[in-house]
Amino acid sequence: MHKDYGRFCWYELMTPDVSAAERFYASVIGWTTKDSGMPGMNYTLAYAGESQVAGLMDIPAEAKGMPPLWIGYIFSDDLEKTLKDIVANGGQVHRQPQDIPGVGRFAVAADPHGAVFSLFSTEDEGPEQPGMMTPGHIGWNELMAGDLDSDWDFYAKTFGWTKDRAVDMSEGGMGIYQTFAVRGGNAIGGMMTKPADLPAPPFWGYYFVVEGLDAAIKRVTDGGGRILMDPMEVPGGAWIVNCLDPQGAHFSLVAATR
């Protein structure tokens, strides 16, 4: 098994207005952007320093009417086998493997409760993994699960994820928040059963690392985005906030300090 198997390796925004999203995220997170040069496709690459972090693209014609969203890519060195495992473990395949010329291959799938993610495979080494709290990068991957226990079994069986710390949030009516790692490494994300009052279906959310949360929150609202909750301190001392971008895509921010 490849050392990067089961790791999140790429992030992609599908949006109705790529140009507006470029300006917004460049301001909020500090990215620089440039066109990918892919023929026949409006695909923008976002960089933190010299590192490619994410892609921004138009919502595909076949997905017309889909709300804008961020989607995470999980690395696999054998897409066909991973897709078979996904189906065997109760998930669904939304898009069979397809080539990205000169880059690699991808597929789109969902867990048993419908939370969507993509798969990525390349002949090269897997994408470089920066430290989890590197500004401009994604610092945390979070699943609002249809059901924590059954979804945990799905991801553990499919990707070899291992349990890290479990945080009991029952006093706030939120149940268990289970953090996870890839085969016993450092924690890369967490999952919990989606609160009943959250209107969205089960989904993956991603936390972009910024320096100083309050200043970043002002950049969100100045740029036409919305803040969905008050800033919250999380175990370990970091601060988080959930947001919507101006086109309506959900994203989150995390910072070491307010």
DSSP string covering 49-90: TTEEEEEEEEPPGGGTTPPPEEEEEEE-S-HHHHHHHHHHTT
Instruction: Over range 104-119, report the average pLDDT.
Output: 97
- State the amino acid at position 19 in one-letter form: S
Q: How far apart are CA 181 and CA 153, in angstroms?
A: 14
What confidence tens digit (pLDDT) does each residue in 94-104 have? Answer: 999 998 877 88
Contact 68, 14 (CB under 8 A): yes
- According to the model, what pLDDT value does residue 128 have? 63
Name the pairing type of β-strands 138-145 and 187-193: parallel
Among 60-69, 123-132, 151-160, 202-211, the least confident range: 123-132
The larger pLDDT score, comparing residue 96 to residue 62, is at 96
Name the pairing type of β-strands 250-255 and 203-209: parallel
Burial bucket for residue 208 (CB in 10 Å: 0-12, 13-18, 19+): buried
What confidence tens digit (pLDDT) does each residue in 121-161 have? Answer: 987 665 566 677 899 999 999 999 999 999 999 999 999 99
By percentage, how much of the chain surpasses pLDDT 70? 97
Q: Name the token pair of 221.
A: 């609202």
